[in-house]
Structure formats: C-alpha cells, structure tokens
Amino acid sequence: MPHCAGKWLLKNCFLFLCMMILLSACTPKPSASKEIDLNSKAKSNIQIVDAAHYSNFWIWGNISSASYLQQAKELYILQGEINWNRSRQRSQFIPQGIHILKKPAQTIWLVVRSHHLNWTPENIQQVIQRLNQWKNAGNMVQGIQIDFDARTKNIHQYAVFLAKFRQHLPSEYRLSITGLLDWTNVQNQSTLALFRQSIDEIAIQTYQDSSTIPNYATYLAKVSQLELPYKIGLVQHGYWQAPRHLSTDPNFKGYIVFLLRKPRST
C-alpha cells in the first residue's frame, strides 16, 4: 500500500470514530427520559395555593380587599415586633402592620415577631394592651401568636420563655406560635412537655419568603409525634400536596395561608 494511501485511510477511520462518539453522546438515554416522565407525573398532582379555597390567613401588611377575605374565618394580623435597640441597650416593641379594624365576623389573632427572648415587663404589657385594644373595638380576639425562628438546638430556651410568658397572659387569650419544619425533629420530652403546657397551637410553616420548601412532606411525616395541636402554613401561589396522614391526625387543625402583597412572578 502506498504511503499516502495509508495516511488517507487512517485519517478517515479516525474521523469516523469521532463521529460515532459524538452521536452516542447526543442520543438521550432511556433512563433519563423515564425520569423526566416520572417528575412530570408527580408535578401533575401538586396544586397551586389559591387563597379563594381557604379560610384562615396571615395578613402581614396592607393587603387589598378580596372576596376571600370577606368570607374568612380566622385572620392572623401582624401588629409589631420585639427588637433590640443597640443604641439604647434595651428591648423595644415596634408597632407594625395595619391599624385596628372592626371585624366582628372573624376570629382575630394578633401576631408579634420577636428577634430575641429577653422581653421586658413593658414589652409584655404592650402586647397585652394591643390585644385589649382590638377586643374593645368589637373584635373576637382569640389571642396572640409569637413568630420567633428559634434554632432547633436552642428550642428548649424558647419553650421556657413561652411558659413564663403564658403566666402573664390573661386567661381569656390563647397562645399560638409559628414553627419551622425542622422543629418536627425535636425529641426532648421536657421541651415538648413545656410546649404542651404553654401553647394552644403551633403553625408549621412550609415556605420560606414567598416560595414553598421542596421537601416539606419529609418533615410533616413526623409532626404528629410532637403531640401538639397544629396548623400548616402555606404561602399564596406556592405549591402544595397534602400528605395522606393529615386526614386522620386529630391534632391537625387546618391551614393558614400567608398572603403576598404582590403576585409572585412566574
């Protein structure tokens, strides 16, 4: 074989092999195609949270009037936060949210966000005063909800705080708290005992900011082990698929939808 012919043959064989490798890499694998189909099937069972289908709502700011608000059963209304004033080196209550309204047809919970647990007697009285003001305006005030994102490893300190706060709360008012999904991992029995003695409900939040936390079902599978009355917090326009065990759990008391001020962009 002539030398030039050999080089031509080797060059073309090399090009042929390269083309075969490229074609193989670009061809979809059956397993990947099957995985996409399964994911699409799972997504078809997940619903978008439509506020019109619910009756309990968190109102965190000036929400425009809507028909579902007129038919609501319970409203959780932000009224302020407990923060630490560094310049004055003391805890302070900062009013937030909407002004006092008259909503006699709905049960009202007032929500206070807390950034620490070193509440002063003045802070406690300010919160109770706000409850009384809404009640005196002709509202059915159910109680106070404290929104505090305690780390799971420090949750016993929060339980102690709640037990002390409950002693100052007038008996006519109930105590609710928000809870993180990770709190379903709490197994310390003394901590859980304090919760059971102090609070009337816990609202487990399945979202962060304005988005649903993807693996919420894994945590909710353990929530019944807390043996606490609980509601599940959903975010408006978020995703939701109810776990099957909720329908038979006596501690499950329904949903609360966090209303967004503006529609979430898609």
Tell me the C-alpha distance between 51 and 71, whole Å: 11
Tell me the C-alpha distance between 83 and 119, whole Å: 9
**191 located within any domain:** yes
Q: Is 101 helix (H, G, I), strand (E, B) or coil?
A: coil
Q: What is the 3 state secondary structure string of 168-211?
A: HCCCCCEEEEEECHHHHHCCCHHHHHHHHHHCCEEEEECEECCE
**207 located within any domain:** yes
**264 located within any domain:** no
**265 located within any domain:** no
- Domains: count for the chain: 2
- Residue 144 · residue 131 · CB < 8 Å: yes
70 plus 149 within the same structural domain: yes
141 plus 254 within the same structural domain: yes
35 plus 113 within the same structural domain: no
- Residue 245 · residue 224 · CB < 8 Å: yes
11 plus 60 within the same structural domain: no
- 23-32, 67-76, 233-242: which is most confident: 233-242
156 plus 245 within the same structural domain: yes
What number of helices (H) and strands (E) belong to the chain? 7, 13
pLDDT band at residue 64 under the 50/70/90 scheme: low
23 plus 116 within the same structural domain: no
**24 located within any domain:** yes
Instruction: Say if pTM beats, i.e. exceeds, 0.85.
Output: no
Where residue 56 sits, what CATH number does that domain have?
3.20.20.80
Domain containing 163: what range? 48-258
23 plus 104 within the same structural domain: no
Question: Could you read off the pLDDT of 15-44 as tens digits, one per residue?
Answer: 444 444 444 443 333 333 332 233 443 455
80 plus 13 within the same structural domain: no
DSSP string, 49-95: --GGG-SEEEE-S-PPP-HHHHT-SEEEEEEEEEEEETTTTEEEEEE
133 plus 213 within the same structural domain: yes
**168 located within any domain:** yes
Tell me the C-alpha distance between 186 and 226, whole Å: 8
pLDDT band at residue 86 under the 50/70/90 scheme: confident
Q: How many of the other CB atoms lie within 10 Å of CB of 29?
A: 8
Cα–chain center distance at 1:
77
- Residue 229 · residue 200 · CB < 8 Å: yes
Q: Which residues of 120-142 are buried (b: 16+ CB within 10 A; e: fewer)?
A: eeebbebbeebbeebeeeebebb
Q: Identify the pLDDT of residue 144.
A: 98
195 plus 73 within the same structural domain: yes
28 plus 111 within the same structural domain: no
**97 located within any domain:** yes
121 plus 91 within the same structural domain: yes
Type of residue at 187: Q
Q: Identify the pLDDT of residue 25.
A: 40
Q: Identify the pLDDT of residue 89.
A: 85
**56 located within any domain:** yes
